[in-house]
Structure 1
Amino acid sequence: MAAGSELSARAFLTRVLEPGDATGGRWVRELGAVTVARRLRDGGPRLAGVSDKRWAGLCGRAAQADPARDLAAAREAGVRFVCPGTPQWPAQLDDLGDARPLGLWVRGGPSLRLWALRSVAVVGARACTEYGAHMAAHLAAGLADRGWVVVSGGAYGVDGAAHRGALGSSGATVAVLACGVDRPYPRGHAALIDRIAEQGLVVGELPPGDHPTPSRFVVRNRVIAALTRGTVVVEAAYRSGSLVTARAAQRLGRHTMGVPGPATSARSAGVHELLRGGATLVTDAAEIVELVGDMGELAPARHGPVLPRDLLEPDAREVLAALPARGAATAADVARGAGTTTDDAIARLYELRSLGYVERHGEGWKLTRRAVISARAGQGGC
């Protein structure tokens, strides 16, 4: 079978079968794309797994399909059609089994296969808060700065903020659409999606000119999950479509991450439920890369500020801790509290005096105001 006939058959099938149709995917796996396309075009005997009514509907679609026209329209729009098994095909999409895309319509110059090798999905609520938009842009910019490709769905809210964050850092980003890649949706993001196509990639399963539907948005999310090494959800209510992406990532064995929000925010309730279910909490790009990156790409250790008393020798810290918060104590009292000798306590007290931590009052020693403030800071201000 010539490569061109395989490509034409698969382009034909993207016009006939809905994205994610596992029954159609099984037909293609068992019989080959060319045979399935011929059977549908000729209106021959019904293939197994569908009713007569459904078969008639598919044959009706097939009668109207014209792959040569679709491929010509794609070329005119600067779009190429990438098939499974070709050098540009991202092999991780094969993890979807019979529900994998029949092919992908790709707008933009870079190699989808190479970009997908080091990519992370950043998804979330369309009606996001300012916090959600800020976090999405911040994470995407950080990932781009570290050489990672940011993948999202091109929608309003978190998706758009993630794409803009990557673009703003002169980074790489991919928009996976639920419609033809030559007709950006939503229309309010036409300029953004055009810019993504110039600097990155716009990808979809549907042929040129095809329109989105609610079900197509849902099945599109499996491609985002399969294409990337992990999925980060920034904001999501309980019924958010971005949770579909996260759960698909979990089923595929990809890393699933969530950015926490206020406990009282309904827009973060779905993320919190995801975290309770085993997703990993992340707050910045370094923590994401630690999960999805190569061995040794670790996030920096998290700790509070280094206080001057942290730099004291351990014995001196013990003596300082033995002084009461109010009033004075003798060297003998301090020695007992620190578990040392009186002579050693006196030596340490004079060291601490030179550093401004203690004062001598007759036979007693007391903390300076500086030492009291330092102690409170070390306890988190309590």
Structure 2
Amino acid sequence: MNDRLARVALMRLAEPDDAVMGGLVASCGTESAVAQIRAGRLDPRFVRWFADTCGQGTRGVRGDEEPTERLGRLLASWSARLEGTDPGRDLAEGARIGARLIIPGDPEWPTQLDDLGGVRPRALWLWGEANLRLSCLRSVAVVGSRAATPYGAHVAAEFGAGLGGRGYGVVSGGAYGIDGAAHRGALAGGASTVAVLACGVDVSYPSAHHDLFAAVREQGLLVSECPMGVRPTRPRFLVRNRLIAALSRGTVVVEAAVRSGAVNTAGHAVALNRHLAAVPGPVTSDTSAGCHRLIRQGAATCVTTPEEMIELVGTIGDDLAPEARGPVLPRDVLAPETRRVLEAVPARTGAGPATIAVEAGVDLETVLSCLGGLAAAGYVERVRRGWRLRPGGP
């Protein structure tokens, strides 16, 4: 069994975030790991390492379980799964639907996944036309609540389209709510989008996103570290969040409750030293409470536009977002002295030039000069008792 087939087998044997399996692979390689599991005996050096690393103070799910007992239980579980594993069949099934498998060292493998260390994926299934490594070189993860509000869905779609229109790939989880809106926004903008799934790439979950996933395959990629046919479970959604954070340069949380999968993704982004941002929402909205908490704690930068997110993850000095400015009013372009004279002119009753001069703090000659220009521009008008602001003026 070669390395590729061994990795396909290991995808069936252990959950993607199984750090013990990761340690075994790092210790002896994929092919030897499968051979040891088949033989039912692990390398004594690995057993000693596990006992030393996971020993004192770190027990298994059973409180009184010794490290060697825990390892024996894991080995029994792996061995039981190995009985029904057929890597060749998995590869054939992937080829049948048009999916492909990539492993570390392949040209399409994103090297930023190495930041995950012992829980780096052993392999990834891809289904779609885009190149994963190229799609993620300049990318942003857009995540948030499944129960998105109309506000959140609108903002997520705007971010997806805005990021895509500026050459950034959009990474998300393919779920209802914010994820789906972000993918659709990117697709509408003609950009590549990557959906990281908590199930096999051949499983449409949620089923209502069948057409969305078909569109993603045409313009981007479906990605999973789960084998073909595997259904999603609650833990797998949390496990896949580390991939969403690792694949992208930064993560923006559009809407999230205090306890949510999006906040979990944010935690992975911080742990991986990726940029983290959050979009503020109404202070009365529970679906934005997680965003506000991230901002308040200083974990996330407050962003309100795709341009601000690009400034955060982009090249220093080259990707600056434009400063938000209020509307320019006609009186904003007036000279300082002219503005002072205009501010001194009453709105209703008229005032003479001398009175205006005292109020404005300028000399009479300046007032007379400014009043002529202001009258010509429609700001003021002459009345019986002097000068006043012109009703309906600029």
TM-score by length of 2: 0.89
Number of residue pairs aligned between Structure 1 and Structure 2: 369
Is 2:45 aligned against 1:23?
A: no
In structure 2, list runs of 5 or more residues that go unmatched.
51-69
Superposed CA offset, 1:73-106 (max 9, x none): 1111211111112211101111111111111111
Aligned with 2:337 (options 287, 292, 315): 315
Q: Deviation of residue 246 (structure 1)?
A: 1.2
Q: Distance in 2 between matches of 1:369 and 1:33?
A: 83
Counterpart in 1 of 2:306? 285
Q: Distance in 2 between matches of 1:41 and 1:313?
A: 86
Is 2:265 aligned against 1:245?
A: yes
Is 2:128 aligned against 1:131?
A: no
Superposed CA offset, 1:3-40 (max 9, x none): x8111111111111111222221222222222212211
Q: Deviation of residue 332 (structure 1)?
A: 2.5
Aligned with 1:336 (options 355, 358, 379): 358
Tell which deviates more after alignment, 38-47 or 291-300.
38-47
Aligned with 2:245 (options 193, 202, 225): 225
Q: Secondary structure at the match of 1:306?
A: coil
Q: Distance in 1 between matches of 2:122 and 2:266?
A: 22
Is 2:121 aligned against 1:101?
A: yes
Q: Deviation of residue 362 (structure 1)?
A: 4.7
Counterpart in 2 of 1:380? none
Alignment-mate amino acid for residue 282 of structure 1: V
CA contact (8 A) 2:172 2:183 kept: yes
Q: Deviation of residue 245 (structure 1)?
A: 0.8
CA RMSD of aligned residues (A): 1.7
Q: Deviation of residue 60 (structure 1)?
A: 1.3
Q: Distance in 2 between matches of 1:280 and 1:39?
A: 47
Q: Distance in 1 between matches of 2:105 and 2:356?
A: 77
Q: Distance in 2 between matches of 1:277 and 1:254?
A: 16
Counterpart in 1 of 2:32? 35
Q: Deviation of residue 326 (structure 1)?
A: 4.4
Superposed CA offset, 1:183-222 (max 9, x none): 1211221221122112210000011111211101001000
Q: Distance in 2 between matches of 1:291 and 1:280?
A: 8
Superposed CA offset, 1:103-133 (max 9, x none): 1111112211111101111111111111211
Q: Distance in 2 between matches of 1:256 and 1:218?
A: 18
Q: Deviation of residue 334 (structure 1)?
A: 2.4
Alignment-mate amino acid for residue 336 of structure 1: V
Matches within 5 A, 1:249-328: 249-278=269-298, 279-295=300-316, 296-328=318-350
In structure 1, list runs of 5 or more residues that go unmatched.
375-382
Counterpart in 2 of 1:377? none
CA contact (8 A) 2:350 2:384 kept: no
Q: Distance in 1 between matches of 2:127 and 2:97?
A: 8
Counterpart in 1 of 2:57? none
Is 2:382 aligned against 1:360?
A: yes
- Runs of 4+ in structure 1 off by over 4 angstroms are none
TM-score by length of 1: 0.92
Q: Deviation of residue 153 (structure 1)?
A: 0.6
% identical aligned pairs: 51
